[in-house]
Each structure stands twice: as C-alpha cells, then as structure tokens.
Amino acid sequence: MTPSVTEVMRGCAAALTQPPSPDAGPDFFASRVGMISMLANLAAQEAEHAAAAAVAENADIRALFAQAAAHDVALGGRLARAAQGVDTDLTLTALDAANARLRRLLIALHERVEDAGDAALDRAILALYVRMAAGRRLQLGG
C-alpha cells in the first residue's frame, strides 16, 4: 500500500519542523518545500476520495469472487465467504485491512486462473485491475 493520508501529513509536518541543515542551500529548500506542497495537494485529493475508493474496490473484488466461486473447486468456499463480506467499519484503517485480505485472495485466485487457462475469468480479472488502478488515481495539481 502506498502511504496513507495520515502518514503523509505527519511526514509533511515532520519535514517542515525539521531544523534546517547549515549546508542546505536555498535551491534545496525551495525544491523541498515544493515537494511538501505537492504532497499536501495529493493528500487533499486522497482525503476526499480514499474511503470511497476503498469501499468501491472492495465491492468490485467481492463481486468478482461471487462470479469466480463456481469456477474454482479449491478456492470456491473462501471466495464465496469473502463475496458475502460487507464493509461496516468505514475508517481507512479498517477498509485497508479488509482490502489487504481481499487482495491476497485475489492474487491466489489469479494464479489459479492462469494455471487453469480460464481465459474468460482471466480477462475479467485484468479488467478489474484497470478499474482498481483508475479508482486510486491521484493527479498533480488535482
């Protein structure tokens, strides 16, 4: 997982309060402050969207598990149970923990789908990856 909003904001605060090194030139400081400014802008985007993105991604993975459960005898039970899950705790910590569990199972499923040569399900997983990545998009100056 990329750093969380909390970690980034704490990192920015730490960077801003760090005493300046006597050897750091003005160009270095200007560059560093510019980087902190970009991080703060990204954090603003993430604060607005992170929970919604995590909920949407988790739901998307669960929907795919529901579809895949019938295909995979070995993983079918785990997939079906995971597909029934619902995010009730909407803190980012809880959502990320649920997301980690779902992603681990998704990796295991994709490996089995590739080994089985199930092209249709493989394509569905690849399409899911595109949606997952798009859902987490950050933009400079956004």
Nearer to other proteins, 10 or 81 (CB): 10
Residues 63-82 that bind other proteins (CB under 8 A): none
Nearest distance from C-beta of residue 89 to other proteins, angstroms: 17
Distance, in Å, from the CA atom of 98 to the CA atom of 64, rounded to the nearest integer, reads 15
Nearest distance from C-beta of residue 5 to other proteins, angstroms: 10
Q: Which of 18, 22, 47 is nearest to 33 (CA)?
A: 18
Distance, in Å, from the CA atom of 86 to the CA atom of 103, rounded to the nearest integer, reads 15
Burial, 121: exposed, middle or buried (Cβ in 10 Å; 0-12, 13-18, 19+)? buried
Which residues of the chain form contacts with other proteins (CB under 8 A)? 1-3, 7-8, 11-12, 14-15, 21-28, 31-32, 35-36, 38-39, 42, 96, 99-100, 103-104, 106-107, 110-111, 114, 117, 119, 122-123, 125-127, 129-130, 132-134, 136-138, 140
